[in-house]
Amino acid sequence: MSPPDTNNELMQVAVGQINSMVTGTSPGNSGGTVSPGAPTQQGNNMVAQSVAQSMAIAVQDVVDLMRNISAIETSAIGAATAKWIAEPENVFYPVIIEKSTETMAEIATLMKTVGENTAYILNQYVMKQP
């Protein structure tokens, strides 16, 4: 088998296309040269995208947690209120209502903390363009 003809126009086009896929540049730009930062920038962009997706999932999980706990605590408050009205002498029901309200406030604080931390992390991974 003879060695490939590197002067073959079709071979040069194929190599140019493969190089453009790997480096992210077009084969026709200044003779196919690649700026030294192009592969690094592509890697940074992929990392930023992956981190952004992970942070979006984390925020979504906290929202789901807040929704679920709010439903439970709201039900507990409603049931305790109904029982308290029926049995006003029982001092345990106001404690249940207070604890349920505190739990919902803690979850709201957790959501704020996760949101702030997510924003901080995203800012660490998103490369600023010069």
Residue range 13-26, pLDDT digits in tens = 666 666 665 555 55
Alpha-carbon distance of 62 to 113, in angstroms, equals 10
- pLDDT exceeds cutoff 50 at 74: yes
Widest distance between CA atoms in the chain: 100
Mean residue pLDDT across the chain: 79
56-72 mean pLDDT: 93
% helix, strand, coil for the chain, step of 5: 80, 0, 20
- pLDDT exceeds cutoff 60 at 130: no
Q: Which of 29-33, 47-51, 85-89, 102-106 has the lowest mean pLDDT?
A: 29-33
CB-based contact 27:13 (threshold 8 Å)? yes
Q: In this structure, what is the dihedral angle of CA atoms 41, 47, 48, 54, given to the nearest 10 degrees?
A: 170
**Residue 2: which region, alpha, beta or left (left: phi > 0; alpha: psi -120 to 50)?**
beta
Q: pTM above the 0.75 mark? A: no
